[in-house]
Amino acid sequence: MKIIINNKKIEAKKGQTILEVAQKNKIDIPSLCFHSDLDIKSNCRLCVVEIKGKDGLHTACSTMIEQGMKIITESKKIHKARKINLELIFAQHCEECNDCIWNFNCQLLKLAKKYNVEITRFTDRKKGYPVHQFGPSLIFDSSKCIDCRNCIDVCQKQGVGFLEIKERGHLFQVIPSQDKNKDCIYCGQCITHCPVGAFEAVGEFEDVEKPLQDKSKTVIFQFAPAIKTSIGEEFNLPHGSIVTEQLVAGIKKLGVDKVFDVSVAADFATVEEAKELIERLETNKNLPMFTSCCPSWVKFVEFYYPEFIPHLTSVRSPQIILGGLIKTFWAEKENIDPEKITVVSVMPCVAKKYEIQREELNMDGLKPVDYVLTTRELAYLFTKHKIDLKNITPKKPDNPLGVPSGAGVIYGASGGVMESALRTAYEKITGQNLKKLEFQQVRGMDGIKKATVEFHPVKCEAIFAKQKLFHRVKGLLIKTAVVNGIGNAKKILEELKENPKAYDFVEVMACFGGCIGGGGQPVPTDSKIRKQRAKSLYQIDAGKKIRSAHENPVIKKVYENFLNSKKKIHSICHTKHLNI
Amino acid sequence: MKNNDIITKLKKSNLLGKGGANFPTSLKWEMVKNAEAEKKYIVCNGSEGEPNVFKDGFILENYPEEVIEGIKIALATINNSSAYIYLRKDYYEKYKNKLEELIGNLPITLFKKTGHYIAGEETSILEAIEGKRPEPRIKPPFPPQSGLWNYPTLINNVETFYYVSKINKDEYQNTRFYSINGAVKNEGVYELPENYSISQILKETNNWPDFSFFVQAGGGAIGEILLPNELKQQVGGSGAIIIFNRQKTNPFALMKKWTDFLLQGNCDKCVPCREGIFRLAEIIKREINNPNKHSLDKFFKAHKQTLQDLFFVLEQTSFCALGKCAVVPFRSLIKKLK
Ligand code: SF4
Ligand code: SF4
Ligand code: FES
């Protein structure tokens, strides 16, 4: 289809909206309530354009293109409409700007400038609207809300529906549900989908300095894999830029003693999960096994589907394993009192703030991790300290907990945990090397990915001869499902209720695309951006010599010298899940 | 009865939808009838929510047989269809028994209206029946293509179904129902030719005032204000004619009545309507509470820029017709009475 936007001929596809075509062609149309993850609501009315031959103004986000359509995206009339609607929007959002996740990137302020908006033309309608806190993870300041309802939609899409509309006099208000059967799972998707920063993490940004303040402590930072390819965005680097070593250098500049890589702990998690999977396959118990490194998913199961709790692997999440190792293995080695160590995780996630408060993870009363900062919070801390990741001499993470396998890195993308576990499980079960390490079927952004993986028949026979799972010709068939976007997990769980044998191993990440789309990640986040971040993680993996967790020499050494008893392994690498 | 007969008859009769949008009824019926789908729905809209409009209530009170007959014809014309009658709360209570008796075992369900005025807008009705917050949907798709639960859906007003049964019996005489009220002697609902002008109607019903007056035509919230010399035209909207005594009417109180209604009656989904009406109401309320009373003219001059801006975005950028039409009474009142 050919259409004309601002006198420029453009080739477009039938079924596209004007906004889609404009965005593809880098024509700027303000679109506050539009998010590519969500259904079109068309309520901000900022994306209005003129269409030749059609009266009035039309919203670009909701209008489908037609052959030969002539569209104007800027005119006096359009300018006026956007200006006034912006003024009405600002009247719900009269806030101080210094404490906002959009701080340097605020669409509203940019538009205000462009359209000569008189920000305080109308008085603040939302003055006195309440601030809500959701557990240890999120803050929702409803006095900033502009009623676009992206948060409600995304929470619904997550299958949670914790955010609701409540009629308030003749107007409505967005509030957390009062229904006792609903609870927030701290995925933080509302944060990244709110266009105006009404949601933020707890402590964002007022508490960012806290972990650095106690000078009597040795401060260790550990960063999650998904940060490596996202934090650069906060410094205007292209989406998906790999900045691992710049990140380390930045953290060092803050005066931090050591910087470790959580991907290393992902390798431990992989080895433990592979062991547990084999064990469960052998005993044919609690199958399918569910991953448990996503705390939102764990809470989702505990709260909404407690009958599935036994399916969660007992393996702790990587940040907790590494925190545990730092305060035991590493403290011992360095001869430091673990009480005198502060462990700070930098995570793409706000649920991780909740996870570190779970008491059953404490080791003799000691918390494995003391603070969680989100990607955004660390970027803010950098900026405050005038640290620019664009201009910094890269540094390598510290030894020994600084060198992961490729498998540990891809944990940050949906399918990564599964792929890592399969790489290791395959070799453990069959005793043979994988010819091809990549499991393409579990990669990518689809919400549900299913794959049946064949394990080499000869070796399997010895172990699995008794099991129905074993197929004489094909060997061991492992049926896997990989889910991202927790709303999709509901479908798998419902399927399992009907057919408990549908899968053997299920990976779930609450956020779209996995941790690279986490609630602690830079904004904006959308499907395109998530793809870039994930692609770069796989690129890191592809460039590594050692790509399977169990082959990582660091891991081998630690198992040899430290994690050499069941008890130790259990206290550092395993946990139990609760009926809440 | 042959299926096509009624559509031909509707076409010939030129019947236009009586819900306010004036869409040719035959066209809607044809679209739903010809749509490919395993299931189809019919909705009879009896939500009548605008102030001073009560003709659908009148019809339900006096001619429920005809209304049900109209729906029955639709059921017979549209294959695999079932119907809802969407009634505002008091109508539901009042006419439930009578209607159920007439429905017998026809596939017609009575549905009690939820929410406010907006819930009279076609697609909001669909949302309400589906159990959601009543709010207008993005169009297209239009209900005849994709309506209730995404099935092709025919939505007609109570009065339209009444006339369908008349047309079917060849008794249609190009009339419509008018709600006449306000400062009149003979308040009520009248069935008169649809090409009558407002002045004709007022005279015929013996309601032409002998005092200085103005009229709100269409409906009591979003109808246009007309002066006595403008009454040669027909009534639009929902066919209401409201008479005001010019001397005795406080224009600010009248505008407040409108904003009160609109604040309650809109769905608050889109920025211009939610925030625009809120600000309009704010200005008017402030004026009413102002101890130094202004004339309408002075008021307008004092708030000219704001009023014009609010009218502009309401009319140009509102999501649905309610926001777009909401400016009509204010603008015409200020212009004509100042
Ligand atoms: S909190 Fe944010 S996302 Fe939710 S309705 Fe308000 S402005 Fe929209
Ligand atoms: S964090 Fe997730 S579950 Fe909680 S309110 Fe936000 S979107 Fe819903
Ligand atoms: S982006 Fe189109 S109305 Fe908000």
- Dump pLDDT digits (tens) for A8-22: 999 999 999 999 999
Q: State ipTM.
A: 0.95
Report chain B residues whose CB lies below 8 A from the CB of A85: 271-272, 313, 317
* H/E stretch holding A32: none
Model confidence over B134-193: pLDDT tens digits?
999 999 999 999 999 999 999 999 999 999 999 999 999 999 999 999 999 999 999 999
- Provide CB contacts within 8 A for A566, sequence distance 6+: none
Domains of chain B: 3-168 (3.40.50.11540), 175-245 (3.10.20.600), 251-337 (1.20.1440)
pLDDT of residue A468: 55
Helix B55-62 with B158-168: angle, nearest 10 deg: 50
Closest ligand relative to A511 C-alpha = 2
Report the pLDDT value the prediction gives residue B118, as an integer from 0 to 100. Answer: 78
Answer yes or no: do A81 and B279 touch at CB < 8 A: no
pTM equals: 0.94
The nearest CA of chain A is from the CA of B292 a distance in Å of 23
pLDDT value of residue B294:
86
Q: Which two tokens stand for residue A167?
A: 């009629």
Q: How many CB pairs under 8 A join A and B?
A: 71
Q: Is the CB of A154 under 6 A from ligand 2?
A: yes
Which of the residue ranges A75-84, A207-216, B247-256 would you say has the lowest mean pLDDT? Answer: A207-216
**Confidence class for position B292, pLDDT limits 50, 70, 90:** confident
What six digits make up the tokens of A321? 């394993």
- Separation of alpha carbons B226 and B231, rounded Å: 7
What domains are defined for chain A? 2-74 (3.10.20.740), 91-201 (3.30.70.20), 209-573 (3.40.50.1780)
Q: What is the dihedral of CA A515, A516, A518, A524, to 10 degrees?
A: 180
Chain B's closest residue to A122, CA to CA, is B279
The vertex-B297 CA angle with B239 and B266, nearest 5°, equals: 40
Distance, CA of A513 to CA of A530 (rounded, Å) = 6
Is B200 in the A-facing interface, judged by CB distances under 8 Å? Answer: no
On the question of pLDDT at B131 being above 70, the answer is: yes
Backbone angles phi, psi at A286, to 5 degrees: 50, 40
As a whole number, mean pLDDT of residues A553-568 equals 95
Q: Are strands A70-72 and A48-51 parallel, antiparallel or unpaired?
A: antiparallel
pLDDT in tens, B5-50: 899 999 999 999 887 778 899 999 999 999 999 999 999 999 998 9
Q: Is the pLDDT of residue A546 over 60?
A: yes
| Residue A89 with chain B: CB contacts under 8 Å | 271, 275
To the nearest whole Å, the CA of B236 is away from the closest chain A CA by 21
Residue nearest to atom 2 of ligand 1 (CA): A194
Q: Which of A500, A293, A300 is nearest to A411 (CA)?
A: A293
Q: Is A58 on the interface with B (CB under 8 A)?
A: no
Beta partners for B244?
A: B214
Helix A76-90 and helix B271-289: axis angle, to 10°?
70
In tens, the pLDDT along A499-538 reads 999 999 999 999 999 999 999 999 999 999 999 999 999 9
Banded pLDDT at A202 (limits 50, 70, 90): very high
Cα separation of B120 and B86, whole Å?
Answer: 9
SS3 at position B110: strand
- Condensed to tens digits (0 to 9), the pLDDT of residues B210-239 reads 999 999 999 999 999 999 999 999 998 899
Average pLDDT over residues A188-217: 94
Distance CA B128, CA B148 (A): 10
Best mutation target, B258, B275, B285, to test chain A (most A CBs within 10 A): B275
pLDDT at B3: 54
The residue that leads in pLDDT, A210 or A466, is: A210
Model confidence pLDDT, tens digit, residues A130-184: 999 999 999 999 999 999 999 999 999 999 999 999 998 899 999 999 999 999 9
Using a 6 Å cutoff on CB, does residue A163 contact ligand 2?
A: yes
Separation of alpha carbons A98 and A118, rounded Å: 19
